[in-house]
Amino acid sequence: MKILAFTDIHADPEAFATLKRKIKNDHPEIVACCGDISNFGMDLEFAVKQILSFKKKTLLIPGNHETAEEVRHISQRHKEIINLHDSFFEIDNVVFYGYGGGGFSLHDPKFEKKIQQLLKKIPQGKKLVFLTHAPIYNTKLDKLSRGHFGNKSTRTFIELAKPTLALCGHFHENEKKKDVLGNSHILNPGCDGMIIEI
Protein backbone atom coordinates (compact mmCIF):
# COMPACT_ATOMS: atom_id res chain seq x y z
CA MET A 1 0.00 0.00 0.00
CA LYS A 2 1.14 3.53 -0.81
CA ILE A 3 0.46 6.22 1.78
CA LEU A 4 0.98 9.94 1.26
CA ALA A 5 1.80 11.26 4.74
CA PHE A 6 2.20 14.89 5.70
CA THR A 7 2.13 17.12 8.78
CA ASP A 8 2.32 20.73 9.95
CA ILE A 9 1.25 22.25 6.66
CA HIS A 10 -0.32 25.31 8.34
CA ALA A 11 -2.44 26.14 5.27
CA ASP A 12 0.62 26.71 3.07
CA PRO A 13 -0.59 26.91 -0.57
CA GLU A 14 2.79 25.86 -2.01
CA ALA A 15 2.99 22.80 0.21
CA PHE A 16 -0.56 21.82 -0.76
CA ALA A 17 0.40 22.18 -4.44
CA THR A 18 3.34 19.83 -3.86
CA LEU A 19 1.06 17.27 -2.20
CA LYS A 20 -1.30 17.40 -5.16
CA ARG A 21 1.58 16.73 -7.55
CA LYS A 22 2.66 13.73 -5.48
CA ILE A 23 -0.87 12.35 -5.54
CA LYS A 24 -1.04 12.78 -9.32
CA ASN A 25 2.38 11.20 -9.92
CA ASP A 26 2.44 8.42 -7.28
CA HIS A 27 -1.24 7.44 -6.89
CA PRO A 28 -1.32 6.67 -3.14
CA GLU A 29 -4.26 4.63 -1.88
CA ILE A 30 -4.73 6.88 1.13
CA VAL A 31 -3.51 10.17 2.65
CA ALA A 32 -2.57 10.55 6.33
CA CYS A 33 -2.06 13.84 8.18
CA CYS A 34 -0.51 14.24 11.62
CA GLY A 35 -2.19 17.56 12.38
CA ASP A 36 -1.67 21.31 12.18
CA ILE A 37 -3.45 21.92 8.89
CA SER A 38 -4.24 25.48 10.03
CA ASN A 39 -2.76 28.36 12.02
CA PHE A 40 -4.58 28.19 15.34
CA GLY A 41 -7.84 27.56 13.50
CA MET A 42 -7.36 30.38 11.00
CA ASP A 43 -7.40 29.32 7.34
CA LEU A 44 -9.05 26.08 8.45
CA GLU A 45 -11.68 26.17 5.71
CA PHE A 46 -9.00 26.86 3.09
CA ALA A 47 -7.02 23.84 4.32
CA VAL A 48 -10.12 21.65 4.23
CA LYS A 49 -10.87 22.69 0.62
CA GLN A 50 -7.32 21.81 -0.35
CA ILE A 51 -7.58 18.39 1.28
CA LEU A 52 -10.90 17.73 -0.47
CA SER A 53 -9.23 18.56 -3.79
CA PHE A 54 -6.96 15.52 -3.28
CA LYS A 55 -10.00 13.34 -4.05
CA LYS A 56 -8.52 10.72 -1.72
CA LYS A 57 -9.61 9.43 1.65
CA THR A 58 -7.60 11.47 4.14
CA LEU A 59 -7.01 10.38 7.73
CA LEU A 60 -6.72 13.39 10.02
CA ILE A 61 -5.81 13.96 13.65
CA PRO A 62 -5.69 17.34 15.41
CA GLY A 63 -2.36 18.98 16.04
CA ASN A 64 -1.91 21.78 18.54
CA HIS A 65 -3.40 24.28 16.04
CA GLU A 66 -6.77 22.52 15.78
CA THR A 67 -9.04 21.05 18.39
CA ALA A 68 -10.38 17.52 18.42
CA GLU A 69 -13.85 19.05 18.11
CA GLU A 70 -12.87 20.93 14.94
CA VAL A 71 -11.52 17.76 13.34
CA ARG A 72 -14.64 15.83 14.34
CA HIS A 73 -16.84 18.53 12.82
CA ILE A 74 -14.83 18.55 9.58
CA SER A 75 -15.17 14.77 9.23
CA GLN A 76 -18.92 14.94 9.83
CA ARG A 77 -19.31 17.43 6.97
CA HIS A 78 -16.97 15.72 4.51
CA LYS A 79 -17.02 11.93 4.06
CA GLU A 80 -13.56 11.89 2.42
CA ILE A 81 -11.94 13.22 5.61
CA ILE A 82 -11.75 10.57 8.33
CA ASN A 83 -11.38 11.66 11.95
CA LEU A 84 -8.67 9.31 13.19
CA HIS A 85 -8.29 10.89 16.64
CA ASP A 86 -8.55 8.07 19.18
CA SER A 87 -10.03 5.89 16.43
CA PHE A 88 -9.14 2.98 14.20
CA PHE A 89 -9.50 2.84 10.43
CA GLU A 90 -8.84 -0.29 8.39
CA ILE A 91 -8.13 -0.55 4.70
CA ASP A 92 -6.90 -3.69 2.94
CA ASN A 93 -4.47 -5.33 5.38
CA VAL A 94 -3.52 -2.13 7.20
CA VAL A 95 -5.00 -0.74 10.42
CA PHE A 96 -4.48 2.94 11.27
CA TYR A 97 -4.81 4.37 14.77
CA GLY A 98 -4.34 8.04 15.62
CA TYR A 99 -4.03 10.11 18.74
CA GLY A 100 -3.66 13.83 18.14
CA GLY A 101 -3.33 17.08 20.03
CA GLY A 102 -0.64 18.10 22.44
CA GLY A 103 2.94 18.40 21.38
CA PHE A 104 4.54 19.98 24.41
CA SER A 105 4.22 17.42 27.22
CA LEU A 106 6.52 14.55 28.12
CA HIS A 107 3.59 12.48 29.39
CA ASP A 108 -0.06 12.12 28.42
CA PRO A 109 -1.83 10.47 31.38
CA LYS A 110 -5.14 10.28 29.49
CA PHE A 111 -3.52 8.36 26.65
CA GLU A 112 -1.55 6.14 29.05
CA LYS A 113 -4.82 4.96 30.62
CA LYS A 114 -6.00 3.77 27.20
CA ILE A 115 -2.94 1.78 26.17
CA GLN A 116 -3.90 -1.61 27.58
CA GLN A 117 -7.40 -1.38 26.09
CA LEU A 118 -5.99 -0.29 22.74
CA LEU A 119 -3.63 -3.27 22.63
CA LYS A 120 -6.63 -5.59 22.88
CA LYS A 121 -8.42 -3.82 20.00
CA ILE A 122 -5.60 -4.08 17.47
CA PRO A 123 -6.49 -6.82 14.95
CA GLN A 124 -3.93 -9.60 14.77
CA GLY A 125 -2.11 -10.37 11.54
CA LYS A 126 -2.44 -6.87 10.11
CA LYS A 127 0.03 -4.03 9.75
CA LEU A 128 -0.47 -1.18 12.21
CA VAL A 129 0.22 2.47 11.38
CA PHE A 130 0.20 4.88 14.33
CA LEU A 131 -0.32 8.62 13.87
CA THR A 132 0.46 11.15 16.57
CA HIS A 133 1.18 14.85 16.48
CA ALA A 134 3.92 15.04 19.10
CA PRO A 135 7.26 13.44 18.25
CA ILE A 136 8.26 10.19 19.92
CA TYR A 137 10.54 10.60 22.94
CA ASN A 138 14.29 9.93 22.69
CA THR A 139 14.42 9.57 18.92
CA LYS A 140 15.93 11.61 16.11
CA LEU A 141 12.51 13.17 15.66
CA ASP A 142 12.29 14.86 19.07
CA LYS A 143 15.91 15.94 19.47
CA LEU A 144 16.55 19.67 19.67
CA SER A 145 19.71 21.52 20.63
CA ARG A 146 18.82 21.39 24.34
CA GLY A 147 17.85 17.71 24.45
CA HIS A 148 14.89 15.41 23.77
CA PHE A 149 11.40 16.88 24.11
CA GLY A 150 9.05 14.26 22.69
CA ASN A 151 6.31 12.25 24.34
CA LYS A 152 7.10 9.24 26.52
CA SER A 153 3.52 7.93 26.54
CA THR A 154 3.41 7.41 22.77
CA ARG A 155 6.84 5.80 22.94
CA THR A 156 5.45 3.28 25.43
CA PHE A 157 2.57 2.52 23.06
CA ILE A 158 5.00 1.90 20.19
CA GLU A 159 7.16 -0.39 22.33
CA LEU A 160 4.09 -2.46 23.25
CA ALA A 161 1.99 -2.32 20.07
CA LYS A 162 4.97 -2.61 17.69
CA PRO A 163 3.41 -0.76 14.74
CA THR A 164 4.98 -1.22 11.33
CA LEU A 165 5.06 2.56 10.97
CA ALA A 166 4.65 5.55 13.29
CA LEU A 167 4.11 9.02 11.85
CA CYS A 168 4.48 12.22 13.83
CA GLY A 169 5.24 15.92 13.45
CA HIS A 170 5.19 19.10 15.53
CA PHE A 171 8.94 19.85 15.48
CA HIS A 172 9.42 21.56 12.13
CA GLU A 173 13.16 21.38 12.69
CA ASN A 174 12.99 17.62 12.28
CA GLU A 175 11.02 17.35 9.05
CA LYS A 176 11.96 14.28 6.99
CA LYS A 177 13.90 12.69 9.87
CA LYS A 178 13.56 8.96 10.40
CA ASP A 179 14.36 6.53 13.18
CA VAL A 180 13.65 2.95 14.21
CA LEU A 181 12.29 1.80 17.55
CA GLY A 182 12.47 -1.97 17.75
CA ASN A 183 10.98 -3.01 14.40
CA SER A 184 8.85 0.13 14.11
CA HIS A 185 9.88 2.75 11.57
CA ILE A 186 9.23 6.29 12.80
CA LEU A 187 9.24 9.37 10.62
CA ASN A 188 8.21 13.00 10.33
CA PRO A 189 6.93 13.35 6.75
CA GLY A 190 7.07 17.16 6.72
CA CYS A 191 4.66 19.69 5.28
CA ASP A 192 5.28 18.70 1.66
CA GLY A 193 4.74 15.04 2.45
CA MET A 194 6.33 11.69 1.74
CA ILE A 195 5.14 8.65 -0.17
CA ILE A 196 5.57 5.56 2.00
CA GLU A 197 5.03 1.98 0.87
CA ILE A 198 4.16 -0.64 3.48
Residue 57: φ, ψ to 5° = -60, 130
pLDDT digits (tens, 9 = 90+) for 82-92: 999 999 999 99
User: Taking the complete model, does pTM exceed 0.75, yes or no?
Assistant: yes
Q: What is the mean pLDDT of the chain?
A: 96
Contacts of 177 (CB under 8 A, 6+ apart): 140, 141, 187, 188
**Residue 103 structural domain:** 2-197
Query: Quick check: helix, strand or coil at residue 77?
Result: helix
Total number of domains constituting the chain: 1
Residue 102 has pLDDT above 90, yes or no: no
pLDDT digits (tens, 9 = 90+) for 113-129: 999 999 999 988 999 99
Query: Quick check: helix, strand or coil at residue 5?
Result: strand
Residue 98 burial (CB < 10 Å; 0-12/13-18/19+)?
buried
- Residue 180 to residue 192: CA distance in whole angstroms: 22
CATH number at residue 48: 3.60.21.10
Give 47's Cβ-side CA count (13 Å radius). 29
Helix ranges (DSSP H) in 55-187:
68-77, 109-121, 152-161
Contacts of 36 (CB under 8 A, 6+ apart): 7, 8, 9, 10, 63, 64, 65, 66, 133, 169, 170
| Average pLDDT rounded to a whole number, residues 165-185 | 95
Q: If residue 142 lies in a helix (H) or strand (E), which one and from where to where?
A: none
pLDDT digits (tens, 9 = 90+) for 127-161: 999 999 999 999 999 999 888 999 999 999 999 99
pLDDT digits (tens, 9 = 90+) for 18-56: 999 999 999 999 999 999 999 998 899 999 999 999 999
11: left (phi over 0), alpha (psi -120 to 50) or beta: left
Nearest to 8 by CA among 28, 29, 42, 35: 35
